[in-house]
Amino acid sequence: MNSIATLLALSCIFLLGSSRLLMSIRMVAFQGLLLGILPLAAAGDGHLSLALIFLSLASIALKSILLPWLLNKAMVDSGTRREIEPFISFGASMLLGLFLLAVSGWIVDKLQATEPVPSPVTLIAGFYLVFSGLLLLITRRKALTQTLGFLVLENGVFTAGLSLGSEFSVMVELGILLDVFVGIFLMGIMLFHIDREFDHLDADRFNELSDLEIAASPDEEVAE
């Protein structure tokens, strides 16, 4: 389990530093694969139930095949290949990522003071995925990368939940998977429409959108 958590954290560092959308999408697909294996590793030998295997397979199929395919299609259709000039440069966001890794370690350390965690390394990885997903959401300009950030965030929640050893029921997990699928699907449709309407996926430039011309006051722009 620890080695899977290590790989998850490494893939996040890579995501923070990579400017190529194709590589980022592949990395998120790889994360999906790791997340599919994680419940099996957590259960250990002899505790493998049919439901668990089904959940794992469904998770892999959705997170590492279907969603990456969908995002890849959105990327090819929009002709966007790279994330250019994020709000925080790639090197700086990697450094920030290291800092967040240390913060995750510190949080888990504090949590353990109150109650021992079954698998601290996996919990750290979970927190770290959540943080770096948020960082991707905030600092990137392209709507596609922000979608990836959302996916990473969700992966983090899944990992953190798993590491706490909570008894997860298959129905609940399937429901969450369905939610994620619908969410990303909607985002894919939105990406398509944004691209057709405005010819780019640059979410930052939407701040300038307004029906009113120059007369618009700042308040109205926010409302828009």
Partner 1 sequence: MISIHSVVFFILTLLLAPILPGVINKVKAFFGGKMGPPVLQLYYDIAKLMRKSATYSQTSSLVTRLAPVVIFFSTLGAGLFVPSFFREASCRFAGDVVLMAYLLGIGRFFMVIAAMDRGSAFEGMGASREVLYSALAEPAFFCGLLVLINETGDLSLSGIFNGLSLELWRQNPAIMLLIAVSWMIVLLTENARIPVDDPNTHLELTMIHEVMILDYSSKDLGLIEYASALKLWLFSSLLVGLIISAGAVPPYLHIPVFLFGILAVAVVIGCVESTIARLRLIHIPKFIVGSGALAIIALILKIAGN
Q: Are 130 and 149 contacting, i.e. CB atoms less than 8 angstroms apart? A: no
Determine the residue type at 11. S
* Contact stretch for partner 1 (CB under 8 A) within 4-12, 25-33, 38-46, 198-206: 4-12
The owner of tokens 């960082």 is 135
Residue 8 has a CB neighbour count (10 Å cut-off) of: 24
Residue 139 has a CB neighbour count (10 Å cut-off) of: 20
- C-alpha 123/C-alpha 107 separation (Å) is 10
Q: Which of residues 84-113 bind partner 1 (CB under 8 A)?
A: 90-91, 94-95, 97-98, 101-102, 105, 108-109
160 binds partner 1 (CB under 8 A): no
Instruction: Compare residues 91 and 175 and give the one whose CB is closer to partner 1.
Output: 91
Minimum gap (Å) between residue 95 Cβ and partner 1: 6
Binding mask 113-132 for partner 1 (x = CB under 8 A): -------xx--x--------
Q: In terms of C-beta density within 10 A (0-12 exposed, 13-18 middle, 19 or more buried), how is residue 196 classed?
A: exposed
2 binds partner 1 (CB under 8 A): yes
Binding mask 10-49 for partner 1 (x = CB under 8 A): x--xx--x--------------------------------
Sign of CA dihedral 163, 184, 74, 57: positive
Contact residues for partner 1, defined by CB under 8 A: 2-3, 6, 9-10, 13-14, 17, 90-91, 94-95, 97-98, 101-102, 105, 108-109, 120-121, 124
